[in-house]
């Protein structure tokens, strides 16, 4: 099979490449087209992995002919180009035109509604697209499906993600993923599902404190823009069970939370609106990215060894067998040598899992969210192969 990965040398794309080429693969991969705008990053990745199945392709996403040529003939197109660069619908449509199955990592739900609206076009063309297949969204959607499947009727599902570091305090701000994504999570309003309808909530609203096991401890959660709340309460098999509330909230490590909130307070939440500096118009995001990148590189020796711990969980309330029930499904990701070399193993490994499950099973044409496409049991098998710890409790 031939796999095209757009943005394949970025943090998430490179991680997907690593997982596809690991001994965890469940499909026969003959070639991986790593397509990226950075030749240096592509060559560094290829040199490190030393894998003959990797082909490097210089990518200009704005060039329609180039885009078509790298997607055409592939068995699947994995879109890892940062959503907020504005090319997601272009790539989505290019995959449809080439009749190639498509997945992406989501991107805060920015284009989710537009993509789902194209379901019939993809279905009629016989093309499969599954959108938002990283960790959150992606694995988180499957967690919600697992909760829903345990309940006969559903009052609410509340979805959470928390990360925490163990080790010496980091004096350098190291982004957990794309800087634009983090800023958007903190600065932009979000759509949540309350009282049976979608409503807009202010940035950093919905503050909620939960006491979690160590190392997370007491965590402050907040609303943020995401795609799960746009699709899960409307999904077949969930909507009919009467769900009236669905929310998504996150918690970044305590000190990092303060730093990102501070940047938003300073005005970096408006990261696309240019400012004039010395007679030139400059985007704040471009400046911030360069400063953070320079600072991390310049102070690499000051970045301490830290262990990253993640917990993803959904709590559903409703009725089971005529009795009120609370269902909790959680996935914990603790440090393990298997994650060496990954910037965000959870997101990139889940992107790989999704692509492989699509390719290893009969395809369902149309545009789908993960909770409607993937079989929970089969998905959880793949998580466990990657040392993700899954638990399901019904009270």
Task: Kindly state whether residues 43 and 144 are assigned to the same domain.
Answer: no
The overall average pLDDT reported for the chain is: 96
Is residue 9 situated within a structural domain?
Answer: yes
Number of domains present in the structure of the chain: 2
Q: Give the domain CATH number at 47.
A: 3.40.50.720
Task: Kindly state whether residues 217 and 166 are assigned to the same domain.
Answer: yes
Task: Kindly state whether residues 63 and 125 are assigned to the same domain.
Answer: yes
Sign of CA dihedral 181, 185, 188, 191: positive
Q: Distance between CA atoms of 53 and 77, rounded to whole angstroms?
A: 16
Range of the domain at 130: 2-134+344-375
Query: What local confidence, expressed as pLDDT, does residue 176 receive?
Result: 83
Q: Distance between CA atoms of 170 and 181, rounded to whole angstroms?
A: 21
pTM of the full structure:
0.94
Q: Give the domain CATH number at 303.
A: 3.30.360.10
pLDDT in tens, 191-226: 999 999 999 999 999 999 999 999 999 999 999 999
Task: Kindly state whether residues 201 and 129 are assigned to the same domain.
Answer: no
Task: Kindly state whether residues 149 and 223 are assigned to the same domain.
Answer: yes
Is residue 87 situated within a structural domain?
Answer: yes
Task: Kindly state whether residues 81 and 155 are assigned to the same domain.
Answer: no
Query: What local confidence, expressed as pLDDT, does residue 203 receive?
Result: 96
Is residue 103 situated within a structural domain?
Answer: yes
Yes or no: say if 331 and 147 are a contact pair by the CB < 8 Å rule: no
Task: Look at the block and give the residue holding tokens 């490590």.
Answer: 253
pLDDT in tens, 30-65: 999 999 999 999 999 999 999 999 999 999 999 999
Q: Distance between CA atoms of 371 and 377, rounded to whole angstroms?
A: 12
């Amino acid at each position: 099979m031939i796999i095209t990965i757009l943005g394949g040398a970025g943090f998430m794309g490179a991680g997907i490449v690593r997982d596809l080429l690991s001994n965890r693969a469940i499909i026969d991969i003959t070639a991986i087209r790593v397509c990226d705008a950075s030749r240096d990053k592509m060559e560094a990745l290829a040199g490190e992995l030393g894998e003959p199945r990797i082909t490097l392709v210089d990518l200009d996403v704005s060039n329609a002919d180039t885009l078509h040529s790298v997607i055409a003939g592939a068995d699947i197109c994995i879109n890892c180009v940062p959503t907020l660069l504005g090319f997601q619908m272009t790539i989505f449509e290019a995959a449809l035109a080439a009749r190639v199955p498509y997945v992406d990592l989501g991107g805060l739900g920015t284009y989710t509604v537009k993509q789902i609206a194209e379901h019939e076009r993809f279905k009629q063309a016989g093309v499969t697209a599954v959108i938002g297949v990283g960790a959150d969204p992606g694995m988180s959607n499957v967690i919600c499906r697992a909760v829903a499947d345990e309940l006969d009727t559903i009052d609410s599902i509340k979805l959470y993600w928390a990360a925490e570091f163990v080790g010496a305090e980091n004096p350098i701000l190291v982004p957990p993923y794309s800087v634009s994504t983090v800023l958007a999570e903190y600065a932009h309003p979000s759509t949540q599902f309350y009282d049976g309808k979608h409503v807009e909530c202010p940035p950093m609203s919905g503050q909620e404190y939960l006491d979690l096991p160590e190392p997370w401890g007491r965590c402050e959660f907040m609303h943020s823009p995401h795609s799960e709340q746009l699709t899960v309460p409307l999904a077949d098999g969930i909507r009919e069970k009467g769900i009236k509330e669905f929310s998504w909230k996150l918690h970044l490590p305590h000190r990092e939370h303060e730093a990102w909130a501070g940047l938003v307070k300073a005005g970096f939440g408006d990261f696309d609106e240019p400012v004039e500096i010395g007679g030139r118009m400059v985007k704040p995001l471009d400046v911030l990215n360069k400063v953070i990148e320079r600072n991390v590189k310049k102070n690499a020796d000051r970045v301490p060894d830290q262990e990253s711990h993640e917990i993803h969980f959904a709590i559903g309330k409703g009725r089971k067998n005529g009795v009120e029930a609370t269902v909790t499904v959680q996935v914990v990701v603790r440090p393990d040598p298997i994650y060496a070399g990954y910037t965000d193993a959870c997101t990139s490994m889940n992107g790989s899992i999704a692509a492989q499950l699509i390719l290893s099973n009969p395809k369902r044409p149309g545009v789908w969210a993960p909770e409607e496409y993937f079989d929970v049991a089969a998905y959880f098998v793949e998580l466990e192969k990657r040392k993700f710890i899954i638990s399901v409790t019904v009270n």
